[in-house]
Chains A and B, each alone.
Chain A
Amino acid sequence: MGLKALDYETLNENVKKVQYAVRGELYLRASELQKEGKKIIFTNVGNPHALGQKPLTFPRQVVALCQAPFLLDDPNVGLLFPADAIARAKHYLSLTSGGLGAYSDSRGIPGVRKEVAEFIERRDGYPSDPELIFLTDGASKGVMQILNCIIRGEGDGILVPVPQYPLYSATISLLGGSLVPYYLEETANWGLDVNNLRESVAQARFKGITVRAMVIINPGNPTGQCLSEANLREIINFCYQENLVLLGDEVYQQNIYQDERPFISARKVLMDMGPPISKEVQLVSFHTVSKGYWGECGQRGGYFEMTNLPPQTVDEIYKIASIALSPNVPAQIFMGLMVNPLKPGDISYEQFVRESQGILESLRRRARIMTDGFNSCKNVVCNFTEGAMYSFPQIRLPPKAMEAAKQAGKVPDVFYCLKLLEATGISTVPGSGFGQKEGVFHLRTTILPAEEDMPAIMSSFKKFNDEFMDQYEDNWNHSRM
Chain B
Amino acid sequence: MEWVTIVDPPPSTTFYAEYQNTGPGSTVDQRIKWADYRSSIPEADAGKFTVKDEQQGGWIRMYPLPGADMRRFVIGSARNLLHRSHQNSLFQRPLLSSSYRLLSSSPSADPSSSSSSTMAHPVALNNINPKVLECEYAVRGEIVTLAQKLQEEIKAKPESHPFEEILYCNIGNPQSLGQQPITFFREVLALCDHPAILDKSETQGLFSADSIERAWQILDQIPGRATGAYSHSQGVKGLRDAIAAGIEARDGFPADPNDIFLTDGASPAVHMMMQLLIRSEKDGILCPIPQYPLYSASIALHGGSLVPYYLDEATGWGLEVSELKKQLETARSKGITVRALVVINPGNPTGQLLAEENQKAIVEFCKQEGLVLLADEVYQENVYVPEKKFHSFKKVSRSMGYGEKDISLVSFQSVSKGYYGECGKRGGYMEVTGFGADVREQIYKVASVNLCSNISGQILASLVMSPPKVGDESYESYSAERDGILSSLARRAKTLEDAFNKLEGVKCNKAEGAMYLFPRIELPEKAIKAAEAAKKAPDAYYCQRLLTATGIVFVPGSGFGQVPGTWHFRCTILPQEEKIPSVVSRLTDFHKSFMDEFRGLV
Contact = CB atoms under 8 A, between A and B. Distances in A.
Interface of A: 1-8, 10-16, 18, 20, 22-23, 45, 47-52, 55, 57, 60-61, 63-65, 67-71, 74, 76-77, 79-80, 96-104, 106, 137-138, 140-141, 144, 148-152, 155, 167, 170-171, 174, 198, 202-203, 205-208, 210-213, 241-245, 276, 280, 282, 290, 295-300, 308-310, 312-313, 316, 319-320, 322-331
Given A6-B439, A140-B451, A101 B425 contact: yes
Contacts of A50: 223-224, 226, 229-230
Centre residue among B132, B233, B407 by max chain A CB count within 10 A: B132
Contact of B13 (A13, A170, A210): A210
Nearest to B455: A298
A99 B181 contact: yes
Contacts of B405: 1
Q: How many interface residues does chain B have, given as a range? A: 35 or more
A137 B125 contact: no
A299 B137 contact: no
B278 to A, nearest CB: 6
Contacts of A74: 206
A276 B119 CA distance: 11
Contacts of A48: 228-229
A15 B275 contact: yes
Contacts of A330: 193, 424-425, 454, 456
Contacts of B449: 18, 20, 140, 167, 170-171, 174
B267 A208 contact: no
Given A20-B445, A212-B122, A313-B124, 16 more contacts: A7-B438, A13-B279, A18-B449, A45-B230, A49-B224, A51-B224, A65-B190, A80-B200, A102-B176, A170-B449, A208-B6, A210-B11, A212-B127, A295-B228, A309-B123, A323-B297
B370 A15 contact: no
Given A63-B194, A141-B450, A280 B442 contact: no
Given A64-B190, A167-B449, A325-B265, A149 B129 contact: yes
Contacts of A65: 190
Given A80-B206, A103-B176, A12 B451 contact: no
B105 A205 contact: yes
Contact of A12 (B10, B122, B276): B276
Interface stretch (B66-74, B376-384, B467-475): B66-74
Q: Sort A-B residue pairs by CB-CB distance and give the 9 closest, nearest first.
A: A3-B370, A329-B424, A64-B194, A98-B176, A101-B175, A68-B190, A102-B176, A50-B229, A298-B455
B122 A5 contact: no
Given A98-B178, A174-B449, A313 B128 contact: yes
A413 to B, nearest CB: 20
B173 interface: yes
Contacts of A155: 11-14
B423 A103 contact: yes
Contacts of B121: 243, 245, 280, 282, 308-310, 313
Contacts of A203: 90
A269 B410 CA distance: 48
B468 to A, nearest CB: 16
B294 interface: yes
5 contacts: A63-B193, A98-B176, A210-B11, A276-B66, A299-B455
B177 interface: yes
Contact of B123 (A77, A100, A150): A150
A148 B275 contact: no
Given A64-B194, A68-B189, A149 B14 contact: no
Contact of B181 (A101, A140, A148, A324): A101
B7 A80 contact: no
Given A101-B181, A324-B268, A64 B191 contact: yes
Of residues A16, A137, A243, which shows the largest number of chain B Cβ atoms within 10 Å of its Cβ?
A: A243
B194 A8 contact: no
Contacts of A245: 121-123
Contact of B175 (A99, A152, A167): A99
A67 B189 contact: yes
Contacts of A15: 275-276, 442, 445-446
A121 to B, nearest CB: 23
B9 to A, nearest CB: 9
Given A99-B175, A99-B181, A316-B125, A8 B228 contact: no
A325 B123 CA distance: 24
Contacts of A312: 124-125
Contacts of B277: 6, 12
Contacts of B13: 155, 208, 210
Contacts, number: 339
Nearest to A175: B129
A198 B63 CA distance: 13
A328 B454 contact: yes
B420 to A, nearest CB: 8
A148 B129 contact: yes
B56 interface: yes
A60 B424 contact: no
B363 to A, nearest CB: 12
Contacts of B230: 45, 47, 50, 290, 297-298
A11 B442 contact: yes
Contact of B226 (A207, A298, A323): A298
Contacts of B421: 101
A312 B125 CA distance: 6
Interface in B13-47: 13-14
Interface in B167-226: 171, 173-179, 181, 183, 186-187, 189-191, 193-194, 196-197, 200, 202-203, 205-206, 223-224, 226
A174 B275 contact: yes
B227 interface: yes
A316 to B, nearest CB: 5
B61 A202 contact: yes
Nearest to A34: B223
A418 B251 CA distance: 43
Nearest to B454: A300
B452 interface: yes
B74 A205 contact: yes
A316 B228 contact: no
B361 interface: no
A208 B128 CA distance: 18
B52 interface: yes
A298 B340 contact: no
Contacts of B452: 298, 300
A15 B275 CA distance: 8
A60 B194 contact: yes
Nearest to A2: B370
B128 A331 contact: no
A319 B128 CA distance: 13
B462 interface: no
Given A57-B196, A138-B451, A79 B202 contact: yes
